[in-house]
Amino acid sequence: MDGMSTEPAAEPRWLSDEEQYAWQSYLHATTLLEDHLDRQLQRDAGMPHVYYGLLVQLSRAPRRRMRMTELAQNAKITRSRLSHAVARLEKNGWVRRENCPSDKRGQLAHLTDEGMHVLEKAAPGHVAAVRGALFDRLSPEQIGQLAEICRVMADGLQPKGADLPWLR
Amino acid sequence: MDGMSTEPAAEPRWLSDEEQYAWQSYLHATTLLEDHLDRQLQRDAGMPHVYYGLLVQLSRAPRRRMRMTELAQNAKITRSRLSHAVARLEKNGWVRRENCPSDKRGQLAHLTDEGMHVLEKAAPGHVAAVRGALFDRLSPEQIGQLAEICRVMADGLQPKGADLPWLR
DNA sequence: CACCCGTTATTGAAGGTTGAACAATTCATG
DNA sequence: CATGAATTGTTCAACCTTCAATAACGGGTG
């Protein structure tokens, strides 16, 4: 051995100037947008953005019902987080839990009529916010570029460990 | 009046298929990436991503010192959130608060030597995570596209009301 | 069937975030 | 300079998220 054997500390490849600029812009844009949508929905619909997304998922599901794990996968959140979220939404009367007939461990989250109504009330304002912040500011080409970039990112991040062992 | 006078409920412009796809991809990519970085930094450095970003800002500031409000602006978070964050970082010994000489209301956040050391320890792993999830997966063109898209987004979201009355 | 392992969903505690309210200070304007 | 308006940073309570631990069930193997 000559002192540079295991080399766990080889000088890392830092970000180039272009990459640093892109990263900074990315962080600013994403935090500002998430905050913006959170505030908009908290004000107009009484829930954070993530919870709204859960209602949307449920509204598109077959009988407005979805298994907890499937819902968590689609929303990219942990089952634990979903449990707490659904508990809160259930308290509001927007979602109800039901036992899954085919699997006694399972639960179905069911979007109630009241929940559907809240969603329909909130949707226009939310779409307007998303448009105003994103789609009305980008060219069609940019929208396509963004979609492709995000697809690549998400592809590389599909969790394979810990609490999110999906798509193994 | 003929019943459609004030029209606050004109059918909103929903998202096109392309836009829906882009939006879905965006949400998946950004939440997965943020979670990924949060876990990585929590594991390797004992703090969430946002807190790490604060240390980075401070490390680049003139005497490793920055006014609270300026720091909050740069990190795109509220002063309240920053207060809590700095309180925690101070408990860890990574940041110290100092009175601002020129403004008796003000506080300076100061990155300590220990904080600097923690940052230097954590930086390589963090950069590697960002690379692995983002920059090593995108072409140079895509990196440029992403930067431009995010610049436009951030531009349109600079807060002008509520608790974030910056850039008025 | 008995066993072991993986999965499903929940819980509780610790930590992080939000929004409103507050005291202290500075600024602008008459 | 006096007064009201605006800024700075913190605090509290309510809420949200994370992580590890747990109970209950399913599924394959011998």
Write the pLDDT tens digit of every residue in A57-84.
Answer: 999 999 999 999 999 999 999 999 999 9
Cβ distance B149 to A128 less than 8 Å, yes or no, reads no
pLDDT confidence of A158, banded at 50, 70, 90? Answer: confident
Question: In terms of CA atoms, which chain A residue is nearest residue B131?
Answer: A15
Strands (E), B6-164: 65-67, 95-99, 107-111
Strand partners, A98: A108
With a 7 Å cutoff on the CB, does B48 touch strand C?
yes
With a 7 Å cutoff on the CB, does B168 touch strand C?
no
Separation between Cα atoms, residue B163 and residue B144, nearest integer Å: 32
Question: In terms of CA atoms, which chain B residue is nearest residue A31?
Answer: B76
Residue in B146, B36, B57 with CA at minimum distance from that of residue A22: B146
Task: Please say if the pLDDT value at position B162 is more than 80.
Answer: no
Ranges of each domain in chain B:
33-156
Cβ distance B133 to A157 less than 8 Å, yes or no, reads yes
Element (H, E) at A25: helix A17-45
Measure, in angstroms, how far nucleotide D14 C1' is from residue A92 CA.
16
Mean pLDDT of chain A: 92
pLDDT, tens digit, 9 for 90 and up, residues B59-92? 999 999 999 999 999 999 999 999 999 999 999 9
With a 7 Å cutoff on the CB, does B78 touch strand C?
yes
Cβ distance A142 to B149 less than 8 Å, yes or no, reads yes
Separation between Cα atoms, residue B3 and residue A54, nearest integer Å: 35
Cβ distance A157 to B30 less than 8 Å, yes or no, reads no
- Please say whether the structural domain B33-156 has been given the CATH code 1.10.10.10: yes
pLDDT confidence of A92, banded at 50, 70, 90? Answer: very high
Report the gap between the CA of B101 and the closest CA in chain A (Å).
30
Strands (E), A5-141: 65-67, 95-99, 107-111
Cβ distance A31 to B130 less than 8 Å, yes or no, reads no
Residue in B20, B31, B34, B35 with CA at minimum distance from that of residue A130: B20
Protein CB footprint (7 Å) on chain C nucleotides: 7-12, 15-21, 24-27
Tell me which fold the domain A33-122 belongs to: Arc Repressor Mutant, subunit A (1.10.10)
Task: Please say if the pLDDT value at position A10 is more than 80.
Answer: no
Please say whether the beta carbons of A45 and A89 come within 8 A. Answer: no
Please say whether the beta carbons of A145 and B149 come within 8 A. Answer: yes
Residue, of B89 and A4, whose pLDDT is higher: B89
Distance of CA A66 to the CA centre of its chain: 16
The percentage of residues in chain A with a pLDDT greater than 70, rounded to a whole number, is 89
Separation between Cα atoms, residue B23 and residue B12, nearest integer Å: 17
Closest Cβ opposite residue A145 in set B27, B135, B149: B149
